[in-house]
Every structure is written in C-alpha cells, then in structure tokens.
C-alpha cells in the first residue's frame, strides 16, 4: 500500500488537531472553565487517526470516555465539541452530554461513552444494520485494554463473528485501566491473542505509528467491506496524562512514561514526511499554526455561546 | 468522638470491621493502590495485605464472585465504582445474591455488601450521576442503606457488614468531604432505624442522603417564616422505619418527601403510600414530593441546577401546604 503525500499530510493535520484541542482542554480544565470529568487522549493520536482514515462519513464508530480523538479523526466539528465541553447550548449535545458523551450521529459517531465496554455491542449492532441494509458501510469500535476484560467484549466479538458482521474492533492498549496496569488485570501480553477464541483475525501493531495503524485498519476494513466479518486490532500505545485531568497518576512508572513520550507519534510522522520530501519543517509548522488558530476559534465560539435554558432540562427525553 | 469526614468515616467503618472479622475482605476497581476513585479506601491495602483486592473492569465478576464467596463463608465488601455501573452486574445481584437464600429454603446466607456511590452536582453527566435507590429497594431480599452524615456512614457500614443479607450501601459524592463527630472504635447504627435530624412541629420532611442537608437548610429558612419543620432521615430505605415516619406525621400532620432520584417510580411514592395506607387520618394536607424531574441527569451545570431538588423547591412545596 503506497500512502500518498496527501494521506500523510492529512494524518499529520488530524493528529496535531487532536493534540492541540486536548492540550487546550487541559489548560481550560485547570483554569476551572470546564465542568465535569475530562479524559485526555494525548499520546494516542495515531490510533484514531490511522483507523478513521479508512472510514467514510457513512461508516460508524463507537467511542469511549476518552473520545475527543475519535471524534476529531472521524471528522467532528471542533467548535461544537468545545462548546459541549463548556456545557453550552451550541454544543454537540446542547450541553446535556459533556466530554464523555459527545456524539455526531450524522457523521456515524454513536457517542463517546461513560460506561466502559458499552460501545462494543453497539458497534456490532451498527454493523448489523450496515449489513442488513446492504449499505456497504462498516463500524469501528474503539475500546481500551481495560474494557477488553468486560463481558461485553466476549459477547460482542462472538456475535460479530458468527454473524460475519462488518466491524473492526480496535483495542487501544495504553496499558492502564485507571491505576490498574495490564500485567495486573490480565494474564496475557497481547490482547490480539483473544481474537483466536472467536475465529477472527487478530493483530498487534505499534499504536504510536500512524502508518502501521492505518495499514492494519485498511486490511480489517477491506475484510469487513467484502463480507468476511470482524477483525481485532490491538494498538500498543500510552496515555501521557492521568486517567482524568487532576489525576496525578502516581501509579505510573516515570521511566516508562519517559520512554513512551520519546515515542511521540507526532514528531515520528513529521520526520517521515520530511524524509520523504513531502514537506519541509516550515510547512508542518504552518499546519500546526493553522490548527492552533482553529482551536482558538473553537474556544472563542464556546465562550461566546449561551448557556442552555434551565427549562431545556425537560426536552429530548422522548422523541 | 473524633472529627472525621464522611469518606474517612466510611473507611474507618470498613477498617474496624476488617479488624474484627477476618472473613471480611474488600474488592473492586482501583480500591487498592489508587485508594478508590474518590479516595474513600485510601491506605487500606497496606493495612490489610491480601484482603483489599484490585479487580479488572469486571463488574459482573466482582458481584458474582462476591456472591460465591459469601455463600462459601466470607463477608465481601464489593465496590461498584459508580451506582450507574450496577446495570452491568444487575443479574448477579437481583437474580443471584438476593434469591439464593429464599430459593434454597433458607439454607444459604449471602452476607454481601455492595458499596457504591450515587448522586449529582458535579457535572458528571447522565452515566455517572444517578440516584437509583428505588431500583434496589424494589428487590426483596436486599437491604438499602443511604447514609447522610459521617457518624451514620460509619455506623451503617458496620451494620451492613455484620448483616447476614445482601446490602447495598450507597454513598453520595456531595457528602464525601462533609465533616462531623464520629464515635471511635466499634460503632453500629442499626439498619431500619430512622433519625430525626431536626425536630419540628408543623411539617415532616422525609429526606435521605444529600437531600437531608438541603432539607435542613430549607427547615432553617422556614423557621424564619414561623414554620417548624421536622427533618426525618430514614437512613435505610429497606428496612424502612415506618413507625418513626408515622409518629412524626402524627405530630405535624403534614408530609413532604424529598429525594434526588426522579419522581416516577421513586421511593418517595412508597413513603407516600405508607402515609396514605397507614396514616391517612393523621394527614391534614396532601402529601408532597420534591424530586428531580423524569429526565436523565444533564451535564451542563445550568441544567443540572435546574434538575436537582434544592432548598428553594423544598420551601415552596412546604409553603403550598399552609
Ligand atoms: C462499566 C464501567 N466500569 C468502570 C468504569 C470506571 N472507569 C472509567 S474509565 C476506566 C478505565 C478504562 O480503562 P481502559 O478500557 O483501558 O481505557 P483507558 O482509560 O485506558 O483509555 C474505568 C475503570 C466505567 N466507566 N464503566
């Protein structure tokens, strides 16, 4: 598979957008501007980017409590996202959902999710709908290493495999479920090994290498689109921040943290782009500057937006 | 007596019971080295080696295994991080834990405490903010505990651990930092005994958990208007201290029930029914309920404020009775 200059630059722009959006969110949260819980994806940008680059607006995703990156990679609007983080009426969910529940159903984004593992069967259902309607669309399901221990993982994988559904299971293995590290919460090294139990292909890739993620997801998406059923992709990565903003993450080994920050997926991609002669450092810096301005505009949009009206608490309960 | 926060009091309650009975153990997600999502169990892992267990994200197995361990002679305190996540393990609770004794003709006991936390007010949105106590109170065989003060939190934890039945022990996020006098050492608040948190003569306000404090604030404000409100905290919904509620109504002849859970099917309806069935002649006015509206919990602080029952809504409901 030959990735074009356009592909690589698009990856770069998406990853930088996620990083910039979230760095800003961290800052805003620390300044007391964002209510509720905020879980950041910083360090894991290559996963959402590489997977979603294989999806169109017709395809579906299910996301997690750490969902900003998935939304941006699937084409979510940063103004509406930022307004939702502020709880404003102009946000994606009119202020009813917040960071942990952002959705854009028109873009196939069936929601971030506050319940770990809940998205797995939902993605299976969306994939079933794609198959049933013969729409040619597929579903991708993002979840963490911790979520792969939930019963939903087993039930979703099994159902998707017997029904040969077009779904790509993407395990974002950042090696922690809050304070619980992988070696304490499972007895295996590679979560992709679990695929064998369902008769489904499973691969492990470097989740900090957007090209590796892209290629594995391309293969899984192709399989899904051609009627061959689900796949499991495990992306080994690392979350730089605490579990949520405010968590000092004392349970993490600082050495490991340092090593992983050294594997930052963004400069790695930048280096590749420059080496291939697709762009110069200055071009990449220009992309980053444009993204920064875009995110600043999103913050301004959110700050200038109205709060919801108290009476709106009663709307949207029933269709 | 010692000043403690509600969170410290819960921890002390668990600690005392673990020291008392070697069959008590604590398990759940992040309860050990992380000390619990809200710090409630901080430090216990060091005090009780092998008896404070961090589990994977595995709610069905947390409660299911606790049922098995309890049936086999242990006394688990099993934490589900937020009450909203009990949906994941409901079968283990409402088809297994609570039915074993009955279905086995009384030949088993399941001394299991499901420890969890409820409530809103922190913009945690719809999947981390609910008050689901009515679900649990509706399950025969399960006891439902909702402490409102540090002392109650400690004493009710002890009673829950010592009880031979499955008990759901529901903390509230808003109360964790609340400080108060707590008896040191062994201290038990029996299940099924209400507490008059403020005496009064003109109206009975029944409230539990966080809403006790909003009811107390409303009662203070009402006093300035010459209305003497009694605030009764049932502390446990199952068993329910009906006698205390009826005795209070006999004194005040008016009843307002305040809960943070949504109205329809809420436990306030049960208390209203008790008043109507067993205290009809004592009442001088219709029973009032102050609750959240029948919607999921919204995220935005503006919306959440509109959602939650507060002092103003309680005062208004009380005044409508006069
Ligand atoms: C059913 C359920 N159990 C527990 C939680 C609390 N919780 C939120 S995120 C999380 C850790 C998730 O770990 P993982 O799936 O590896 O995702 P990561 O946070 O690492 O991205 C936990 C335990 C929850 N939200 N839902």
- Best mutation site among A142, A178, A207, A247 for ligand 1 pocket (most ligand atoms within 8 Å of CB): A178
A75 Cβ below 6 A of ligand 1: no
pLDDT, tens digit, for every residue of B272-291? 999 999 999 999 999 999 99
Residue nearest to atom 11 of ligand 1 (CA): A177
Nearest in space to B94 (alpha carbons), one of B58, B55, B136, B126: B136
Q: What pLDDT digit, counting tens, does each position of A190-220 carry? A: 999 999 999 999 999 999 999 999 999 999 9
B312 — contact with chain A (CB < 8 Å)?
Answer: no
B chain contacts of residue A310, beta-carbon cutoff 8 Å:
302-303, 305-306
Give SS3 for B151: helix
Q: Which residues are B255's β-sheet partners? A: B204
Any ligand 1 atom below 6 A from CB of B29:
yes
Q: Are B157 and B187 in contact (CB under 8 A)?
A: no
Q: Which residue has its alpha carbon closest to ligand 1 atom 17? A: A144
Catalytic residue among B128, B172, B253, B259: B128
Check pLDDT > 70 for residue B114: yes
Residue A143 CA: nearest ligand 1 atom is: 15
Structural tokens at position A214? 């892209």
* 8 Å CB contact between B305 and A310: yes
Instruction: With a cut of 90, say whether residue A1 has pLDDT above it.
Output: no
* Residue burial A50-83, b: 16+ Cβ < 10 Å; e: rest: bbbbbbeeebbbbbbbbbbbbbbbbebebbbbbb
C-alpha angle A31-A36-A41 in degrees, rounded to nearest 5: 80
What is the pLDDT averaged over residues B45-57?
A: 98
Shortest alpha-carbon distance between residue B237 and chain A (Å)? 27
Verify whether residue B128 is a known catalytic residue: yes
Q: What average pLDDT is seen over chain B? A: 98
**Cα of A223 from ligand 1 centre, angstroms:** 29
pLDDT tens digits, one per residue of B52-109: 999 999 999 999 999 999 999 999 999 999 999 999 999 999 999 999 999 999 999 9
Over residues A269-277, mean pLDDT: 98
Q: Measured between CA atoms, how close is A252 to chain B, in angstroms?
A: 11
pLDDT of B322 higher than 90 = yes
| CB contact residues (below 8 A), chain B span 51-70, against chain A | 54, 56-60
Q: What pLDDT is attached to residue B284?
A: 97
Confirm if A85 and A91 have CB atoms less than 8 A apart.
yes
Chain A residue nearest residue B36, CA to CA: A179
Which of A37, A87, A176 is the best substitution to test chain B (most B C-beta atoms within 10 A)?
A87
Query: Which residue, among B74, B69, B27, B73, has the nearest Cα to B52 in the 3D structure?
Result: B27
Hey, are the CB atoms on B29 and A117 less than 8 Å from each other? no
**Residue among B58, B84, B296 whose CB faces A150 most closely:** B58
Put simply, whether B319 touches A (Cβ < 8 Å) is: no
């Amino acid at each position: 598979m030959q990735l074009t200059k356009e592909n690589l630059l698009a990856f770069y722009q998406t990853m930088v957008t996620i990083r910039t959006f979230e760095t800003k969110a961290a800052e805003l949260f620390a300044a007391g501007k964002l209510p509720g819980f905020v879980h950041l994806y910083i360090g894991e940008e290559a996963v959402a980017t590489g997977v979603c680059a294989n999806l169109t607006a017709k395809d579906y995703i299910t996301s997690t409590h750490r969902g900003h990156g998935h939304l941006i990679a699937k084409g979510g609007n940063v103004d509406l996202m930022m307004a939702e983080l502020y709880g404003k009426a102009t946000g994606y969910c009119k202020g009813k959902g917040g960071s942990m529940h952002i959705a854009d159903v028109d873009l196939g984004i069936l929601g971030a999710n506050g319940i770990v593992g809940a998205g797995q069967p939902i993605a299976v259902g969306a994939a079933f709908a794609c198959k049933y309607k013969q729409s040619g669309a597929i579903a991708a399901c993002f979840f963490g290493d911790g979520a792969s221990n939930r019963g939903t993982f087993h039930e979703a994988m099994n159902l998707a495999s017997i029904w040969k559904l077009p779904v790509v299971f993407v395990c974002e293995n950042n090696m922690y479920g809050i304070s619980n590290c992988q070696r304490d919460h499972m007895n295996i090294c590679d979560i992709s090994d679990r695929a064998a139990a369902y008769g489904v292909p499973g691969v492990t890739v470097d989740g900090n290498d957007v090209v590796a993620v892209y290629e594995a997801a391309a293969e899984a998406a192709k399989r899904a689109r051609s009627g061959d059923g689900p796949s499991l992709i495990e992306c080994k990565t690392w979350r730089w921040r605490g579990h949520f903003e405010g968590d000092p993450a004392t349970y993490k080994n600082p050495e490991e943290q340092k090593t992983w920050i050294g594997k930052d997926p963004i400069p790695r991609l930048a280096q590749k782009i420059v080496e291939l002669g697709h762009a110069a450092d200055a071009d990449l810096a220009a992309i980053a500057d444009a993204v920064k301005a875009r995110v600043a505009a999103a913050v301004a949009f959110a700050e200038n937006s109205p709060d919801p009206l108290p009476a709106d608490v009663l709307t949207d309960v029933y269709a | 007596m010692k000043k403690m926060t509600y969170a410290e009091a819960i921890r002390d309650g668990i600690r005392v019971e673990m020291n008392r009975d070697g069959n008590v153990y604590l398990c759940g997600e992040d309860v050990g080295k992380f000390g619990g999502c809200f710090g409630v169990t901080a430090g216990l892992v060091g005090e009780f080696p092998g008896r404070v267990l961090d589990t994977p994200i595995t709610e069905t197995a947390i409660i299911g295994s606790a049922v098995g361990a309890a049936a086999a002679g242990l006394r688990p305190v099993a934490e589900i991080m937020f009450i909203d996540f009990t949906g994941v393990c409901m079968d283990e609770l409402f088809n297994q834990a609570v039915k074993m004794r009955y279905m086995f003709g009384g030949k088993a006991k399941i001394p299991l405490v499901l420890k969890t936390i409820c409530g809103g007010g922190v913009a945690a949105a719809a999947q981390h903010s609910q008050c689901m106590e009515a679900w649990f109170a509706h399950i025969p065989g399960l006891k439902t505990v909702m402490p409102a003060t540090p002392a109650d939190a400690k004493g009710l934890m002890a009673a829950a651990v010592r009880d031979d039945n499955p008990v759901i022990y529901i903390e509230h996020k808003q109360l964790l930092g609340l400080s108060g006098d707590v008896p040191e050492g062994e201290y038990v608040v029996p299940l099924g005994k209400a507490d008059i948190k403020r005496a009064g003569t003109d109206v009975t306000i029944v409230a539990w958990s966080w809403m006790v404090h909003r009811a107390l604030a409303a009662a203070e404000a009402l006093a300035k208007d010459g209305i003497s409100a009694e605030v009764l905290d049932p502390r446990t919904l199952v068993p329910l201290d009906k006698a205390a509620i009826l005795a209070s109504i006999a004194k005040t002849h008016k009843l307002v029930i305040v809960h943070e859970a949504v109205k329809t099917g809420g436990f306030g309806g049960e208390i209203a029914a008790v008043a109507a069935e067993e205290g009809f002649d004592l009442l001088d006015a219709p029973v009032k309920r102050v609750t959240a509206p029948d919607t999921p919990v919204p995220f935005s602080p503006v919306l959440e404020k509109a959602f939650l029952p507060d002092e103003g809504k309680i005062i208004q409901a009380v005044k409508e009775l006069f």
